Amino acid sequence: MTAGVPLLNVEHLTMRFGGLVAIDDVSFAAQSGQITGIIGPNGAGKTTLFNCITGFYKPTVGRVALTAAGETHLLERLDGHIIAKTARVARTFQNIRLFPGMSLLENLIVAQHNKLMRASGFTVLGLLGLPIYRHAEVRAKELALDWLRRVQLIDLADQPAGSLPYGGQRRLEIARAMCTDPVLLCLDEPAAGLNPRESAELNELLLGIRDEYKIGILLIEHDMSVVMKICDHIVVLDYGRKIADGGPDAIRKDPAVIRAYLGEDEAA
C-alpha cells in the first residue's frame, strides 16, 4: 500500500500574504490507509496548509499532487469545489461549518450533491420524476443513514443541524465529509472542545475510517492524547517551517519539537 507513489505529495509549498510568510518551503508526503498528524504551536501555519491543499488558497510557490487510482491531480491548480469533486479531497473546519437550518439527513445528502446531480440529469430528469433519480436518492439516503448510525446521531436525523450539541456537530461534520466519498480526508482540529470521553470516541471513529476505507487522513490537532495515540506519521510545523517528520515515538523525542513547544533553554 505504501509502496510507490504517495497519496498526497506536497513539494516546496510556500504561501505568502504580502510580507508575511505563513508557510515556508514545506514538503511532506501522506499515504493512503494512514493518519498523518500535522501539529505545531499556534500560528505555525497548519490551517493555512490545509487551505492550500483544499483549494481555498492558491499557494505562492510549490506543488501539491494527489495520486489516487492511478490518476494524479495537481491541487494547486484547481478551484476548491473541483478539488472536492474530482480529486475527492474532503475537509472539516476548525470552526464547524454545517448547514444549521437543514436537518442532519439533508446535510449528508447535500454532501452527495454531484452524484445526485448527475442522477437527476442536471435537474431535468428529476423534475420529470423519473425513477433513475428516485433510486439514486434512496441509495444516497441509505448511505447517509449508515453514517448517522455510525456517529450515533440517527435518532436526531430529522432535527436541524444547528440544534445539535457541540460534540454532535463535530461528528456530523466528519460524517458529512465522508459522504462525499473522499480519498483524502482533512480534519481541522476535530477534537477541539470535546470532553475526554468524546475524544476517545473520536479516536475510535477515525481509526475505523482508516482501516475500513483505506483512505488517507490528514489531521490537525492540539490534543496530544489524540495525536500520539492514532497518528501513524506526524509532521511538525513551527513558524511556517517543517521542523520534524516521522513516527509518533521519534517525534516525542525530537529535540527540535521539544524546543518549539517548551521553549529553548538559554544555557544550552
Partner 1 sequence: MQMMQTKSGPTFMNAMMAKDLAVTTFIAFSLSFLLVGFQTLALQGQQLSYINHLGDVAWSVVLVVLGRYGLLVDREGAHRITLVVCGVAAIYLIGSAVAGLAEVTWYAMLPLPFAQPMVNGIFGAGAAILAVRAASNMVTRRATMMSVEQREAYETRRNRLNRKFSQTVGPIMVLLAIFMPITPWGDRGRVDTLVVILTSVMLGWGLNIVVGLAGLLDLGYVAFYAVGAYTYAKMSIGFGWDFWQTLPFAGLFAAMFGVALGFPVLRLRGDYLAIVTLGFGEMIRIVLLNWTDFTSGAQGISGIPYMDFFGIPFIREPQEGQQSFAKLFGVEYSLDHRIYFTYYVILCLALITNFVTIRLRKLPIGRAWEALREDEIACRALGVNPRNTKLTAFGIGAMFAGFAGAFYATRLGFIAPFSFTFDVSAGILAFVVLGGMGSQVGVALAAIILVGLPEVTRELQLYRALIYGCAMVLIMLWRPRGLLSHREPTIYAMPAKSRFFGLWK
Asked if 85 interacts with partner 1 (CB under 8 A), we say: yes
Asked if 116 interacts with partner 1 (CB under 8 A), we say: yes
Instruction: Indicate the residue among 32 and 51 with the shorter CB distance to partner 1.
Output: 51
> Taking CB under 8 A as the criterion, which residues in 213-252 touch partner 1?
none
Tell me the site size for partner 1, rule CB under 8 A: 45
Asked if 28 interacts with partner 1 (CB under 8 A), we say: no
Asked if 130 interacts with partner 1 (CB under 8 A), we say: no
Q: How far, in whole angstroms, is CA 189 from its chain's centroid?
A: 9
Whether the CB-CB separation of 210 and 33 falls below 8 Å is answered with: yes
Q: Which sign does the torsion angle of CA 203, 204, 205, 209 carry?
A: positive
- Nearest approach, Cβ of residue 151 and partner 1 (Å): 14
Whether the CB-CB separation of 204 and 111 falls below 8 Å is answered with: no
Short-list 183, 180, 177, CA closest to 71: 183
- Nearest approach, Cβ of residue 260 and partner 1 (Å): 29
Question: What is the DSSP code string of 62-105?
Answer: EEEEEEETTEEEEGGGS-HHHIIIII-EEE--SS----TTSBHH
For 239, the grid coordinates are: 513558524
Instruction: Indicate the residue among 5 and 124 with the shorter CB distance to partner 1.
Output: 124
Asked if 100 interacts with partner 1 (CB under 8 A), we say: yes
> Which SS3 state, helix, strand or coil, does residue 101 take?
coil
Asked if 80 interacts with partner 1 (CB under 8 A), we say: yes
For 209-247, the three-class secondary structure string (H helix, E strand, C coil) is: HHHHHCCEEEEECCCHHHHHHHCCEEEEEECCEEEEEEC
From candidates 27, 60, 114, 203, binder to partner 1 by CB under 8 A: 114
| Helix or strand run (H / E) with residue 32 | none
Asked if 178 interacts with partner 1 (CB under 8 A), we say: no
From candidates 117, 200, 207, 258, binder to partner 1 by CB under 8 A: 117
From candidates 7, 39, 66, 98, binder to partner 1 by CB under 8 A: 98
Q: Identify which range of 117-125, 229-237, 239-247, 251-259 contacts partner 1 by CB under 8 A.
A: 117-125
Asked if 71 interacts with partner 1 (CB under 8 A), we say: no
Q: Identify which range of 103-111, 214-222, 237-245, 256-264 contacts partner 1 by CB under 8 A.
A: 103-111
Residue 50 has φ and ψ, to the nearest 5°, of -60, -45
Q: How far is CA 96 from CA 120, 134, 145, 188, in A?
A: 30, 31, 21, 9
Whether the CB-CB separation of 250 and 243 falls below 8 Å is answered with: no
Task: Please report, as ranges, the residues that interact with partner 1 according to CB under 8 A.
Answer: 54-56, 79-82, 84-85, 90-91, 93, 97-103, 105-106, 109-111, 113-114, 116-117, 120, 123, 126-127, 129, 133, 137, 141, 145, 148, 154, 157-158, 160, 176-177, 180
